[in-house]
Amino acid sequence: MSSWIAGLSWVTPLGSGVDSVWQRLLAGERPPLEKLQSEHSARSYLVHRVPGHASKNLPPHPRLRRASAISRFAAAAGLGAIADAAVTPDVERTAVVFAISNGGVIYTRRFYSEIVKAGAQSASPLLFPETVFNAPASHLAAILGICGASYTVVGDGAVGILALKLADDLLAAGEVDTCLVVAAEEIDSLVCEAYRQWRLLRNARAPESRRGMIVSEGAGAVLLSRNAGGCEIEKIDPGSNFFRRAEATGKLRRTLEGLEVETASFCIGSANGTFVDAAERSALGENVRVYYPKLALGDSIGASVLWQVIIAVQALRTRRLPESVEPVRGSRAIVLACGVNQQIGGLALCCEDEKYRSALS
């Protein structure tokens, strides 16, 4: 059983149109580095933020009135993927599957800050519901009127693979006909401080260094269908967990073998300037052509796998990869994900539909 990508969309620090952001990536553009001020010290963090216009065209909906940035990014990407597929989803036979890592961290910090600083009696009942991991999925389901299955999967930077696997399983079991998979994340200084203390973050005083991650935000969405056509998700390996960083390379290698990396034209990796880089490079070896989008767009953690998938689809469609003049040959690609908190996974995409491929060539 395979799933087919019927539509895709994203909200990124380079904007929100799939094709326009793709052209900017091909042209070697980078989103601006912004400094985000810590709430607790004089420290600042380097981040890539979504420009204000990227999620401005959302239709008015009461659920979005108080929603946090993560829900707005998710709604923009989800609605974009449906528009791209040019379908009206069957509200009972379409599932919503979300991938999230940090979730609604802005409201979570605000809510807990009220408890700590002003006491429990001052904590706002308006904020708390938005801190729940499945709030963005609930808002999007409400906007679309989806009344069937809705799942929010949480994990590290590899969580998108696990969400796509869940969606693929729902389709394979015949429980739904289409599945909207959305991954989203928002930036908050608390997240940056956490990664800094974890020694994963790029030093704001050495921005040109390739060491350390730059946190970014946004969302990615794909509409999966059981109807053949376009780009196929050929195989998903939900992977495994590495208990020590030294184990990551071996487990990535196992995933790559299972996905038959030797027959792929290229791999979209998840290197982000941390220990992940060495693990992935070592697992992939010298013979696989690789593009690392996190080094261009930043690491959007929970949203990153969906960006990787969209980049892989675009590369197969246009036969081009950023940072390279050599055309893409062949029709198979690998998306590899290694999170910073022990999760690993990957998937194989195949695009043999010449009409779909030539649409953007």
Closest to another protein by CB, 85 or 159: 159
Interior CA angle at 223 toward 8 and 79, to 5°?
A: 70
Segment lying near another protein (by CB under 8 A), choices 9-17, 77-85, 124-132, 322-330: 124-132
Closest to another protein by CB, 105 or 328: 105
- What is the DSSP code (8-state) at residue 43? -
Q: Tell which positions 233-272 bind another protein, by CB under 8 A.
A: 238-243, 251
> Helix axis angle, 69-85 relative to 135-144, nearest 10°?
40
Q: Tell which positions 20-59 bind another protein, by CB under 8 A.
A: 40-41
Residue 173 engages another protein in binding (rule: CB under 8 A): yes
Q: Are strands 178-185 and 266-268 parallel, antiparallel or unpaired?
A: unpaired
Pick the closest to residue 20 from 294, 34, 12, 70 (CA basis): 12
Q: Tell which positions 276-305 bind another protein, by CB under 8 A.
A: none
How big is the site for another protein, counted in residues (CB under 8 A)?
76
Write the binding mask 130 to 169 for another protein: x where contact by CB under 8 A, - elsewhere. xxxxxx-xxx-xx--xxxxxxxxxxxx--x--x--xx--x
Task: Report the 10 Å Cβ neighbour count for 249.
Answer: 18
Q: Tell which positions 183-222 bind another protein, by CB under 8 A.
A: 190, 193-194, 197-199
Residue 349 CA to residue 200 CA, distance in Å, equals 30
In this chain, which of 17, 58, 87, 128 binds another protein, going by CB under 8 A? Answer: 128
Closest to another protein by CB, 23 or 150: 150
* Closest separation in Å from C-beta 65 to another protein: 11
**Under 8 Å CB-to-CB from 180, ≥6 apart: which residues?**
78, 81, 82, 89, 94, 95, 96, 97, 140, 144, 146, 221, 222, 223, 224
